[in-house]
Amino acid sequence: MAQYTPMIQQYLQVKEQYKDTFLFFRLGDFYEMFFDDALLASKELEITLTSRDGGGEERIPMCGIPFHSSANYIKNLIEKGYKVAICEQVEDPKQAKGVVRREVIQVITPGTVMEGELLDEKENNFIASLTPLDDERFVVAYNDLSTGENSVSFIRDGFDSVLSELFNRPVKEIVVPSDLQETWAEMLTQRLNVTISQEDSVDIPDESKELVQNLKQKELITGFARLFQYLARTQKRAMTHLQPVQYIELSQYMKLDMYSKRNLELTETIRKKGKEGSLLWVLDKTVTAMGARMLKKWLDRPLLSTTEMERRHQQVEGLLEQYFEREALREALKEVYDLERLSGRVAYGNVNARDLIQLKKSLHQIPEIIQVLQDFQQEELAQLADTINPLESLKEILEKSIAETPPLSIKEGDIIKDGYHEQLDQYRDASRNGKQWIAELERKEREATGIKSLKVGFNKVFGYYIEVTKANLHLIPEGRYERKQTLSNAERFITPELKEKESLILESEEKSVELEYEIFIDIREQVKTFIPELQKLAEQMSELDVLQSFAVVSDENRYTRPSFTNGHELHIENGRHPVVEQVMKDDHYVPNDVRMDENRDILLITGPNMAGKSTYMRQLALIVIMGQVGCFVPADRAELPVFDQIFTRIGAADDLVAGQSTFMVEMLEAKHALTKATENSLILLDEIGRGTSTYDGMSLAQAIVEYIHNHIHAKTLFSTHYHELTSLSDSLERLSNVHVKAEEHDGNVVFLHKIQDGAADESYGIHVAKLAELPSPLIDRAYEILNQFEHSESSRVPSANEEEQLDFFAFKEPAQKKQETENSKSVSTAEKTIMDEIKGLNMLNMTPMEAMNTLFAIQQKLNK
């Protein structure tokens, strides 16, 4: 350290405390970075890397960004998962003895951003903390600093459940103890793609004990305290908008593991990772940012309480029945700004006058919303009006104080209305009168001197002055003015009276701006006292927005109100996939029934690829989720049990990050369902066992079906290409076969997308290959091989000496084929091995698609 200059020593001392952040070190009008920070920042931000002499033997790497444009650079780093420590000068350079004192005033991290440009207005920005109690039990706490909401939950069934829980929330950063198991830390980073931070302090200060007043168990308080201490350490300011911690009992909500949420595409699609094409995309007709965020929370946590579900459905029905009142409510809500985040900005101290105008405009809409609610016939909607506090006193404060079109800055004046503060009015009066006097002085001096071009001007260096061009200097009476400045074509003068007025005007303006700032801070403190009421109002407006969104989408898409049973009966008439029918638009969507009573737990679904088996399965899950979040559902009628969990295994997806094959992922997801499901769960398994050999796959598939039937008794949809499994309906009394209907016309297959009872009679695999436009010779050859398979008397492939030998090398042109036949007398060792492999194939137990895949693999080997 001693070898460096005092300023670089100061930088290194601060950097030692913030090793995992970019340190933005304020030097004049720039934030500078040095050493490794400079090397990395220059690459990430694409800015010029320079160097400077720091007193050591070598020059120090250095890069910098202008202070006034730092927001975009910070945003860039935060979006890439980095943290930024803002180190400011906290001492007047004129009074500094030596190096100006600097301190970190805030650490900005992915989970603690507050500025609007860093936040997605329709999504929460959660930071979470993880506190392990043992290998099976964990405490997870959440905070959204921008809205002030806090929550905490127990997880009692292992680390996989921790991953699923964190995956279900838009978490940007996770705070963990420094001694967290390394394997767990790696899984958090790889699976969730979040920033990991460390905090070991788990104490709650006395002044913040009210935040944990709702928590009874010490472990929960400790779990939240870790998160609170991290926030306090990084933000370095009062966070008075933080709401009391809510304990979320996860057993009160439907469990959706990370696999199911991904497979069902609830909030984003698997391929594009975007909202369009997801269930959220269909249901989101919200008109406020806070409503959009609440809708996403409801989708993350479907209800188990039939009472709460019925309450939501009742309110949606009330909104649905009165179109004009619903539209009036929707229009009023459009004028309500983001009350949650406005409250956060007030408490955080970064609110400006324009934000308060948004708050005032929002409060102006509340009486209208109350009036509209009173016009609804549905009792609960009308009663809701009585629970809404319009905050008239806050609206009155803002109405009297804040100018209608204030500037963005709160330190430049013109933000407080005339008449609000007597002293401010006096300063303004003095300033305005002084300026009027200046204008009058210019008129009088022109008349007195006869110089029409004479003018009274102002600049920050000389103040007010009288300017006369050199051509008119001879017209000035002797001794009238005092010379102040000479220009190339004019002279500037002052008078004692002008200087006196200048002093009065400038003093008034300066004091006016200072006083306005003080008044604004006082108003902000007054608004702070209303934060709990504002947060309550925000919650009510958010819920109203989600309910009207459900009503709008139900009206537009012909959804119906579901009913819930106390048993296990499930009856859906003409159910539809909510997303697919939207994507198809004008095309006719084929609806389907689902009938599963007390004696029908498993539907074994067979039928060709592309016929709609997966859509049918997803359709059921999405209808269940929509019903349990409080929305109407896409069906003519839906009678549903309340499902506690949904498990899915739909589609193939290698987990390359974890080094797992498709089949391993398939088995892990199946294991998760089989070990966690109850008789009140819904299980969707699509073509289990296809990732291994035919016998292995079919054996596993049958064993899984039997295990679910005999031990779990959960409602299950199981699709398969193993037609042999359809015979299970003879031995498993609660299993029924259904299939997706398809018809063949003139050699072409037509998928009817209609589910019917019974097993499918054909797979149509080659037809699907034809639809996929595989080469015509390949399709013809596949039909030829299939025909030979179907007429073969045994599973043995005919030998080379038999007339009906299967010619697996028939893809060549005739001339090539003839030449190859002539050369077949000397078969190579490699070819002999392949022919032995062919002889060992059990063709009768292969589906046509498997046969084609095998054929293709053999061709690949021969080409090598």
Instruction: Find the range with the poorest average confidence among 265-269, 320-324, 502-506.
Output: 502-506
**pLDDT tens digit sequence for 822-837:** 444 455 677 777 887 7
Q: Collapse the DSSP code of 406 into the 3-class scheme (helix H, G, I; strand E, B; otherwise coil) and give the result.
A: coil
Q: Is the pLDDT of residue 267 over 60?
A: yes
Residue 41 and residue 57: Cα distance in Å, rounded?
23
Beta strand residue intervals within 443-562, DSSP E = 455-459, 463-469, 482-486, 490-494
Tell me what percent of the chain is helix, strand and coil, each rounded to the nearest 5.
50, 20, 35
- Cβ atoms of 648 and 621 within 8 Å: the answer is yes
Q: Is the pLDDT of residue 529 over 80?
A: yes
Instruction: Report residue 808's pLDDT band, with 50, 70 and 90 as the boundaries.
Output: very low
Residue 614 marked ligand-binding = yes
What is the pLDDT at residue 587?
Answer: 67
Number of residues written out for the chain: 864
The amino acid that residue 567 corresponds to is G
Beta strand residue intervals within 90-209, DSSP E = 102-108, 126-132, 138-144, 149-155, 171-176, 195-198
- Give the pLDDT mean for 232-245: 91
CA–CA distances in Å: residue 2 to residues 6, 9, 55, 479: 9, 8, 9, 65
**pLDDT tens digit sequence for 703-735:** 999 999 999 999 999 999 888 899 999 999 999
What is the pLDDT at residue 106?
Answer: 94
Among candidate residues 726, 731, 732, 719, the one with its CA nearest the CA of residue 690: 719
Residue 381 and residue 608: Cα distance in Å, rounded?
48
Classify residue 242 by its DSSP letter: P
For the sheet containing 570-575, what is the strand order? Answer: 563-564, 637-640, 570-575, 592-596
Residue 429 has phi, psi (to 5 degrees) of -65, -45
**pLDDT tens digit sequence for 599-629:** 999 999 998 777 788 999 999 999 999 999 9
What is the pLDDT at residue 432?
Answer: 83
Q: Is the pLDDT of residue 64 over 80?
A: yes
User: Where does the chain hold its CATH 3.30.420.110 domain(s)?
Assistant: 121-252
Owner of token pair 């946590």: 301
Q: Is the pLDDT of residue 840 over 80?
A: no
- Give the pLDDT mean for 502-514: 86
Helical packing angle, 306-321 and 323-334, nearest 10°: 100
More confident residue, 805 or 489: 489
The gap between the terminal CA atoms of the chain, to the nearest Å, is 64
Is the model's pTM score more than 0.75?
A: yes
Burial track 52-63 (b if 16+ CB lie within 10 A, e otherwise): eebeeeeebbbb
Fold classified for 6-108: MutS, DNA mismatch repair protein, domain I (3.40.1170)
Fold classified for 563-763: Rossmann fold (3.40.50)
The mean pLDDT value of the chain amounts to 88
Long-range own/partner contacts, residues 136-144 (CB < 8 A, 24 or more apart): 138/162, 139/219, 139/220, 139/222, 139/223, 139/224, 140/165, 140/166, 140/223, 141/223, 141/224, 141/226, 141/227, 141/245, 142/169, 142/171, 142/227, 143/111, 143/227, 143/228, 143/231, 143/242
Q: Is the pLDDT of residue 368 over 70?
A: yes
Instruction: Find the range with the poorest average confidence among 7-11, 13-17, 229-233, 795-799.
Output: 795-799
Residue 52 tokens read as 């400077």
Residue 254 marked ligand-binding = no
Instruction: Find the range with the poorest average confidence among 174-178, 275-279, 579-583, 845-849.
Output: 845-849
Owner of token pair 């108003």: 523
Among candidate residues 690, 649, 693, 686, the one with its CA nearest the CA of residue 671: 649
- Give the pLDDT mean for 511-524: 93
User: Where does the chain hold its CATH 1.10.1420.10 domain(s)?
Assistant: 284-391+530-557, 422-515
Q: What is the dihedral sign for C-alpha 616, 619, 623, 629?
A: positive
Instruction: Report residue 745's pLDDT band, with 50, 70 and 90 as the boundaries.
Output: low
- Give the pLDDT mean for 244-269: 92
What is the pLDDT at residue 57?
Answer: 80
Residue 608 marked ligand-binding = yes
Q: Is the pLDDT of residue 570 over 90?
A: yes
User: Where does the chain hold its CATH 3.40.50.300 domain(s)?
Assistant: 563-763
Residue 612 marked ligand-binding = yes
User: Where does the chain hold its CATH 3.40.1170.10 domain(s)?
Assistant: 6-108
Q: What is the dihedral sign for C-alpha 430, 435, 436, 437?
A: positive
Please tell me the CATH code under which domain 284-391+530-557 is placed: 1.10.1420.10
Classify domain 121-252 at the CATH superfamily level.
MutS, connector domain (3.30.420.110)
- Bridge partner residues of 647 (DSSP): 683
What is the pLDDT at residue 669?
Answer: 80
- Give the pLDDT mean for 373-386: 94
The pairing of beta strand 195-198 with beta strand 246-247: unpaired
- Cβ atoms of 229 and 201 within 8 Å: the answer is yes
Q: Is the pLDDT of residue 795 over 90?
A: no
Q: Collapse the DSSP code of 195 into the 3-class scheme (helix H, G, I; strand E, B; otherwise coil) and give the result.
A: strand
- Give the pLDDT mean for 337-346: 93
Residue 578 and residue 549: Cα distance in Å, rounded?
15
Question: How much of the chain exceeds pLDDT 70, in percent?
Answer: 91
Instruction: Report residue 789's pLDDT band, with 50, 70 and 90 as the boundaries.
Output: low
Fold classified for 422-515: MutS, DNA mismatch repair protein; Chain A, domain 3 (1.10.1420)
